[in-house]
């Protein structure tokens, strides 16, 4: 009985192992099925292979391919839950089920080169070798003749259902070729792509089918970013089907463009967002014929934040091969002997010393989302994906020589407190419950007509609620403010209508929405405070007085009241519901993007802004020397603070406040 395979130590620092025996050495003489004109080998045609691992020196430029795959086709199961054994050099070598499926698929393909597979070609039990080989992976994938992508087996059992992915491939090939007409740089402009799609009719069913192209776990794996971006050529297999990478890329561009420009409603909203995010990310990853533009490590962290890894340390190590080294800074290497916390702390310190500096602090997720609670508050927990998008900042903002340092787990820098948080509104879930916007509405109504900067308070609140975040959002400021007036008014009126019984109990749009928001499972109309409706009316009256000079708001209020008057008096529930149902508009779209994961706040000094969900009264708005945006800090003791997160404060974002406090800045410690 053959024993377990034992790895031999590699003889050179530039050596790798290559797996020989994959694929056919000659054209297959076996039978095949034909589905919609496509030759398909079924599982019964797969044959057991005899493999061999042989050492090769990368300096000798060996001819080989590299496999890109996930260790498990189902990432929710442990890698040991389903394993198979292959014969390698006369011994047994255990591999995961998904890798076994990949090898069986490769056994049907004629190939003349060995293949590099991380799980097989690296001795995973040898930490020193694992570190050394992982640090070489950028070179390995860029040296490979081609990268072979395995998306996993097709989850069907017969030829009738097997034709579904074939029809999907035909749909993909029929799409407009946006890949050839999009701007030639490494940033994909989804607005450009959406413009190129004008006139092309696509049904919701087709859009869903295309989104599901990206439902393989491969699209949510952090290692795939490096593996594809460094590839010289890509071949994609999904079950028995082969997909041209150009077709995959173009489909990702179409899906990303369409979903980037709409907020899906109804059953379209049920599409798992990870499919769409996977499509968007892979648009950015590889356009052949274009040189790779290396970016700072922080850029790739942001790009891959929603991607997963079996080992949380790989959220750093998987991206090192792509990043441009920071000048005058010791490079960060993969080291699996360190804990996750140690890796993330070292990584944060490395990024802080680099070109992007304190931009790292904008990557810190809300405290409620953190998985590694022992991390210092200023170190991003890269193992989780934040709900909030990072704020957009001025690229041309003035920067100074950096005056900050990391001592142990503390960040020492120069800063100045500029405002104190006084009131905080609800999060987005409560606001969209329609029954819980009272604190938001009171905050809106509590302002005078003028803002501390001298501009109209209405404009300041509008821009705070729709703060610019990363991503395309070109909306004219006047259009944004006009649609904001209608948005706020409907927020008031829908809550009042429900509280006073002007909306029916079943069947209409608002109650379905409220039920989805789960509020009706927590409270009934009878349990609301008796003065709740009057409080809303009072807030609405105050809002009207505060912004009475705004012609657009006055016109919106008059128009909506006139359209509702008759229905309101007769309590025509369905008619009121229909009139209060607001369509998606400019402000609505921006609000959902900007407010997610954040909360509106007002300071004692009269400023308004958006802060992290965990913000609370008493927190302080700080300006940090060399930072692009204000930050919310929470005092622990004199001169010692906890980072709550980045913030948008209207009146602070163009450098207005910075010039007046520069000389007041002093050193503080963030733990």
Identify the band that residue 395 occupies on the pLDDT scale cut at 50, 70 and 90.
low
- What pLDDT is attached to residue 26? 43
Which one, of 490, 491, 500, lies nearest residue 425 by Cα? 491
* DSSP one-letter string for 383-425: TS--SSPPBP--TT-------EEEETTEEEEEEEEEEEEEEE-
Q: Looking at residues 2-22, what average pLDDT do you find?
A: 93
1 has pLDDT over 70: no
Distance CA 9, CA 7 (A): 6
Rg (CA), the chain: 29
Query: Which of 397, 228, 218 is closest to 300 using CA atoms?
Result: 228
Q: For the chain, first and last CA: distance in Å?
A: 58
User: Within 13 Å, how many C-alpha atoms sit on residue 149's CB side?
Assistant: 27
Strands of 540-612, DSSP E: 598-603, 608-612
| Predicted structure pTM score | 0.82
* Residues in contact with 644: Cβ distance below 8 Å, sequence separation at least 6, in sequence order: 367, 377, 611, 612, 614, 615, 619, 631, 632, 633, 634
Structure tokens at 208: 């869903």
Query: Which range has the worst mean pLDDT, 45-54, 126-135, 151-160, 480-489?
Result: 151-160
> How many C-alpha atoms does 386 have within 13 Å on its Cβ side?
27
Name residues whose C-beta falls within 8 Å of residue 622's C-beta, 6 or more positions apart in sequence.
415, 416, 417, 418, 630, 631, 632, 633, 641, 668
The Cα 340–Cα 316 span in angstroms is 10
pLDDT of residue 38: 44
At 612-653, the pLDDT tens digits run 999 999 999 999 988 889 999 999 999 999 999 999 999 888
- Tracing tokens 């199961």 back to the chain, one arrives at 77
- In order, the DSSP letters of 80-98 are TSSEEEEEETTEEEEEEHH
Q: What are phi and psi of 105, to 5 degrees?
A: -65, -40
Min mean pLDDT across 91-105, 233-247, 453-467, 475-489 is at 475-489
The strand ranges marked E within 128-285 are: 146-150, 234-238, 241-244
- Specify the 3-state DSSP secondary structure of 458: helix
Q: Kindly tell me if the per-residue pLDDT of 522 is higher than 50.
A: no
Q: Which residues pair with 469 in a beta bridge?
A: 391
Phi–psi pair at 669, nearest 5 degrees: -120, 130
Return the higher-pLDDT residue of 431 and 9. 9
Confidence of residue 416 (pLDDT cuts 50, 70, 90): very high
54: confidence class by pLDDT, cuts 50, 70, 90 = very high
Q: What is the pLDDT of residue 127?
A: 94
pLDDT of 285 reads 62
Helix (H, G, I), strand (E, B) or coil at 104: helix
Q: Is the pLDDT of residue 456 over 60?
A: yes
Q: Which of 179-188, 545-554, 645-654 has the lowest mean pLDDT?
A: 179-188
CA dihedral 200, 205, 209, 214 (to 10 degrees): 80
- The confidence score (pLDDT) of residue 168 equals 74
SS3 590: helix
What are the pLDDT digits (tens) for 328-345? 778 889 999 999 999 999
pLDDT at 76 over 90: no
Closest by CA position to 369, among listed 357, 353, 380, 356 = 380
Q: How far apart, in whole angstroms, are the C-alpha atoms of residue 231 and residue 220?
A: 18
Least confident segment among 217-221, 235-239, 490-494 = 490-494
pLDDT of residue 162: 47
Which helix or strand (DSSP H or E) is residue 117 part of?
none
Q: What is the DSSP string of 252-303?
A: HHHHHHHHHT----GGGGGS-HHHHHHHHHHHHH--TTS------HHHHHHH
Q: Checking DSSP bridges between strand 620-624 and strand 404-407, what pairing results, if any?
A: unpaired
pLDDT higher than 80, residue 671: yes
Average pLDDT value for residue range 85-109: 90
Mean pLDDT of all residues in the chain?
A: 76
- Whether the CB-CB separation of 77 and 27 falls below 8 Å is answered with no
Angle among Cα 302, 308, 311 to the nearest 5 degrees reads 110
Q: Residue range 369-390: average pLDDT?
A: 93
Torsion of CA 245, 248, 249, 252, to 10 degrees: -160
Residue 161 clears pLDDT 50, i.e. is over it: no
60-69, 212-221, 574-583: least confident range: 574-583
Query: Could you tell me what percent of the chain has a pLDDT over 70?
Result: 63
Please name which of 228, 193, 21, 6 lies closest in space to residue 104, comparing C-alpha atoms. 21
- Under 8 Å between Cβ of 577 and 504: yes
Q: Which of 293-307, 440-454, 470-484, 542-556 has the lowest mean pLDDT?
A: 542-556
Q: How confident is the model at residue 498 (pLDDT cuts 50, 70, 90)?
A: low
d(CA 21, CA 49): 7
Residue 260 binned pLDDT confidence (cut-offs 50, 70, 90): low
More confident call, 73 vs 8: 8
pLDDT of residue 612: 96
What distance in Å separates the CA atoms of residue 616 and residue 135, rounded to the nearest whole number? 43
Coil, helix or strand for 34? strand
Count of CB atoms situated within 10 Å of the CB of 563? 14
The pLDDT value recorded for residue 327 is: 77
């Amino acid at each position: 009985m053959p024993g377990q395979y034992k790895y031999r130590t590699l003889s050179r620092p530039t050596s790798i192992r290559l797996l020989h025996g994959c694929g056919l050495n000659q054209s297959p003489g076996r039978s095949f099925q034909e589905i919609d004109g496509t030759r398909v080998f079924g599982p019964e045609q797969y044959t057991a292979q005899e493999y061999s691992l042989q050492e090769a020196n990368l300096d000798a430029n060996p001819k080989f391919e590299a496999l890109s795959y996930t260790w498990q086709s189902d990432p929710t199961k442990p890698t040991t839950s389903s394993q198979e054994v292959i014969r390698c050099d006369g011994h047994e070598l255990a591999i995961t089920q998904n890798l076994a499926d990949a090898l069986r698929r490769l056994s049907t393909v004629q190939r003349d080169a060995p293949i590099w597979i991380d799980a097989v070609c690296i001795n995973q039990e040898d930490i020193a070798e694992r570190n050394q080989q992982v640090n070489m992976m950028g070179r390995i994938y860029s040296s490979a003749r081609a990268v072979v992508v395995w998306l996993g087996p097709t989850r069907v059992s017969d030829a009738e259902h097997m034709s579904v992915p074939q029809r999907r491939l035909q749909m993909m090939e029929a799409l407009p070729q946006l890949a050839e007409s999009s701007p030639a740089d490494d940033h994909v402009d989804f607005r450009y792509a959406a413009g190129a799609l004008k006139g092309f009719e696509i049904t919701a069913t087709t859009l869903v089918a295309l989104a599901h192209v990206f439902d393989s776990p491969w699209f949510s794996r952090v290692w795939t970013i490096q593996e594809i971006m460094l590839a010289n050529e890509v071949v994609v297999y999904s079950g028995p089907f082969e997909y041209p990478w150009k077709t995959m890329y173009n489909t990702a561009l179409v899906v990303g463009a369409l979903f980037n420009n709409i907020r899906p409603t109804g059953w379209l909203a049920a599409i798992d967002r990870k499919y769409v995010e996977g499509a968007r990310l892979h648009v950015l990853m590889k356009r052949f014929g274009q040189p790779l533009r290396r970016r700072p490590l922080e850029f790739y962290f942001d790009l891959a934040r929603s991607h997963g890894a079996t080992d949380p340390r790989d959220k750093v190590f998987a991206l090192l091969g792509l990043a441009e080294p920071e000048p005058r800074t010791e490079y960060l290497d993969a080291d699996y002997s360190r804990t996750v916390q140690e890796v993330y702390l070292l990584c944060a310190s490395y990024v802080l010393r680099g070109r992007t500096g304190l931009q790292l602090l904008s990557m810190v997720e809300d405290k409620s989302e953190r998985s590694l609670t022992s991390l210092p508050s200023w170190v991003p927990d890269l193992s989780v994906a934040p709900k909030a998008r990072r704020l957009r900042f001025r690229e041309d903002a003035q920067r100074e020589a950096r005056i900050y340092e990391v001592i142990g787990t503390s960040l020492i820098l120069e800063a100045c407190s500029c405002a104190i948080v006084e009131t905080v509104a609800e999060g987005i879930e409560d606001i969209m419950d329609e029954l819980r916007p009272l604190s938001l509405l009171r905050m809106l109504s509590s302002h005078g007509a003028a803002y501390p900067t001298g501009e109209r308070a209405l404009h300041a609140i509008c821009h705070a609620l729709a703060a610019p975040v990363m991503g395309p959002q070109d909306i004219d400021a006047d259009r944004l403010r006009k649609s904001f007036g209608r948005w706020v008014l409907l927020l008031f009126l829908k809550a009042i209508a429900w509280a006073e019984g002007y909306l029916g109990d079943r069947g209409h749009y608002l109650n379905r929405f409220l039920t989805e928001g789960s509020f009706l499972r927590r409270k009934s109309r009878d349990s609301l405070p008796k003065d709740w409706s009057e409080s809303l009316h009072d807030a609405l009256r105050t809002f009207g007085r505060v912004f009475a000079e705004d012609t657009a708001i006055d016109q919106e209020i008059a128009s909506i009241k006139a359209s509702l008057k008759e229905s309101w008096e007769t309590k025509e529930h369905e008619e009121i519901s229909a009139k209060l149902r607001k369509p998606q508009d400019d402000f609505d779209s921006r609000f959902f993007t900007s407010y997610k994961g954040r909360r509106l706040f007002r300071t004692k000094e009269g400023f308004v802004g958006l802060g992290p969900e965990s913000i609370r009264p008493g927190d302080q708005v700080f300006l940090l020397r060399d930072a692009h945006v204000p930050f919310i800090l929470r005092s622990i003791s004199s001169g010692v603070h906890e980072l709550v997160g980045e913030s948008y404060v209207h009146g602070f974002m163009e450098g207005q406040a910075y010039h007046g406090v520069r000389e007041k800045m002093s050193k503080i410690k963030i733990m």
